[in-house]
């Protein structure tokens, strides 16, 4: 369902940006690298009627996507924030159009749009979930488990998350760390809901290895090939029994429609940052639902800001698979919000407060800040 009722306009006074460094509770390893500290940009939109918060989910290096923190920091201050400040009074639904002339930089656009959306909804007293079209008050919580030292260590890590109550496990794979790792988890835990994420680490020439994963009855394989390998994904999908899910490739509603038309995916991971915002994310949800294609909410190691927004998004009716919407403590000992997202009976609650429904912890925010800039009208 498209957004039922638009948000009110806000009069922007300033936009504050901060680079944060948040230590991770344990290193997070994917096919593209290892992170021990989450570097992320937090946005505060200052309006006549109060503040709103957003998060730019770029990472320190352009390994998952071409976007990265210092590039985001630059393009935001040089082009995107000035364009919004020039607009002055604007509705959240206008943000994407104002920023449209600037090519790419979707994660930056998403973070700016979220801050303005939060400010507008807080001023109106409306929860984000209600605005986006949430139909449930809690969502099942899956967890993304990084590549470990060896399959035994992976089994131990997965066991910990299952004990905590996570209802679906996703393991990261890469060439040489795929079949044996998946087999170890299946052998140890039986028929748990299990999926794998390759983060673009394979080529079509690896088709035989990827087909070996078919025997594990996985929910899906996520992004086996590169971002622009849409036709190759279609070719691969025809050779696999495991459903192919796209993450990196789906950068917009248009890309999602094209991928579905070509048979490149039968499941889609929706991440608001990757697609330029929560409004574009809803459009992808809507078109997939129309097409009968299941979607789930991906994650980018969000702080409490993005984590609250993801919980709201995942509550839309087309999100029929558990998302990477885990508790804050899966990544952080100390979040920057006063009530971090918690795991309750394998689920996380959709916040019901106004806007994002979470409050910033000013001391935690300040302690994590390594750079700050403010642009005024």
Of 23-31, 187-195, 216-224, 227-235, which segment contacts Mg ion by CB under 5 A? 216-224
Candidates 172, 179, 176; CA nearest to 198 is 172
Of 124-132, 235-243, 287-295, 296-304, which segment contacts ligand OSB by CB under 6 A? 296-304
Helix (H), strand (E) at residue 349: strand 347-349
Q: Give the integer Cα–Cα distance in Å for 85 and 87.
A: 5
Smallest gap from residue 346 Cβ to ligand OSB (A): 15
373-98-105 Cα angle (round to 5): 60
Of 89-97, 126-134, 190-198, 347-355, which segment contacts Mg ion by CB under 5 A? 190-198
Annotated catalytic residue within 109, 170, 174, 271:
271
Q: Residue 324, interface with Mg ion (CB under 5 A)?
A: no
Give residues with Cβ within 8 angstroms of 169, minimum separation 6: 142, 143, 145, 158, 161, 162, 185, 189, 192, 193, 194, 195
Q: List phi, psi (to 5°) of 206.
A: -90, 10
Whether the Cβ atoms of residue 154 and residue 185 lie closer than 8 Å to each other: yes
Q: Residue 324, interface with ligand OSB (CB under 6 A)?
A: yes
Decide which of Mg ion, ligand OSB, none touches 210; Cβ closer than 5 to 8 Å per partner kind. Answer: none
Q: Give the integer Cα–Cα distance in Å for 213 and 221.
A: 9
Q: Residue 304, interface with ligand OSB (CB under 6 A)?
A: no
Q: Residue 213, interface with ligand OSB (CB under 6 A)?
A: no
Q: Give the integer Cα–Cα distance in Å for 70 and 76.
A: 10
Q: For residues 247-266, which are near ligand OSB according to CB under 6 A? A: 247
Member of 31, 47, 69, 144 binding ligand OSB (CB under 6 A): 144
Q: Residue 326, interface with ligand OSB (CB under 6 A)?
A: yes
Candidates 230, 220, 223; CA nearest to 257 is 230
Q: Give the integer Cα–Cα distance in Å for 177 and 137.
A: 37
Q: Residue 301, interface with ligand OSB (CB under 6 A)?
A: yes
Decide which of ligand OSB, Mg ion, none touches 64; Cβ closer than 5 to 8 Å per partner kind. Answer: ligand OSB
172 belongs to the catalytic site: yes
Decide which of ligand OSB, Mg ion, none touches 301; Cβ closer than 5 to 8 Å per partner kind. Answer: ligand OSB
Member of 58, 141, 182, 199 binding ligand OSB (CB under 6 A): 199
Of 45-53, 72-80, 180-188, 298-306, which segment contacts ligand OSB by CB under 6 A? 298-306
Q: Which residues are catalytic?
A: 172, 271
Q: Which residues bind Mg ion (CB under 5 A)?
A: 197, 222, 247
């Amino acid at each position: 369902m498209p957004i039922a009722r638009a948000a009110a306009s806000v009069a922007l006074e300033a936009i504050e940006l901060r680079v944060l460094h948040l230590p991770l509770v344990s290193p997070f390893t994917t096919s593209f690298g290892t992170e021990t500290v989450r570097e992320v940009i937090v946005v505060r939109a200052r309006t006549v009627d109060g503040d709103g918060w957003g998060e730019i989910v770029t990472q320190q290096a352009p390994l998952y996507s071409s976007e990265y923190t210092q590039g985001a920091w630059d393009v935001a201050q040089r082009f995107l924030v000035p364009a919004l400040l020039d607009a002055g009074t604007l509705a959240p639904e206008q943000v994407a159009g104002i920023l449209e002339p600037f090519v790419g930089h979707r994660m930056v656009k998403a973070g700016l749009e979220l801050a303005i959306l939060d400010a507008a909804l807080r001023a109106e007293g409306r929860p984000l979930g209600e605005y986006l079209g949430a139909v449930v008050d809690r969502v099942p919580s899956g967890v993304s488990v990084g590549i470990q030292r060896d399959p035994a260590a992976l089994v131990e890590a997965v066991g910990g998350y299952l004990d905590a109550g996570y209802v679906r496990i996703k393991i990261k794979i890469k060439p040489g760390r795929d079949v044996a790792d998946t087999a170890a988890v299946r052998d140890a835990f039986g028929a748990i809901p299990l999926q794998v994420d390759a983060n673009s680490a394979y080529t079509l020439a690896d088709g035989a290895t990827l087909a070996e994963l078919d025997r594990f009855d996985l929910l899906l394989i996520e992004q086996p090939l590169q971002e622009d390998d849409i036709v190759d994904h279609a070719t691969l999908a025809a050779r696999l029994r495991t459903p192919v899910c796209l993450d990196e490739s789906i950068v917009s509603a248009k890309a999602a429609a094209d991928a579905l038309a070509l048979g490149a995916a039968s499941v889609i991971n929706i991440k608001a940052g990757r697609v330029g915002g929560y409004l574009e994310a809803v459009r992808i949800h809507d078109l997939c639902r129309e097409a009968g294609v299941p979607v789930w909410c991906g994650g980018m190691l969000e702080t409490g800001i993005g984590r609250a927004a993801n919980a709201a998004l995942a509550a839309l009716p087309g999100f029929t698979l558990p998302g990477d919407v885990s508790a804050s403590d899966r990544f952080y000992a100390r979040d920057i919000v006063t009530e971090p997202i918690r795991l309750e009976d394998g689920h996380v609650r959709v916040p019901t407060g106004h806007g994002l429904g979470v409050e910033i912890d000013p001391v935690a925010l300040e302690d994590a800040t390594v750079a700050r800039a403010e642009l005024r009208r």
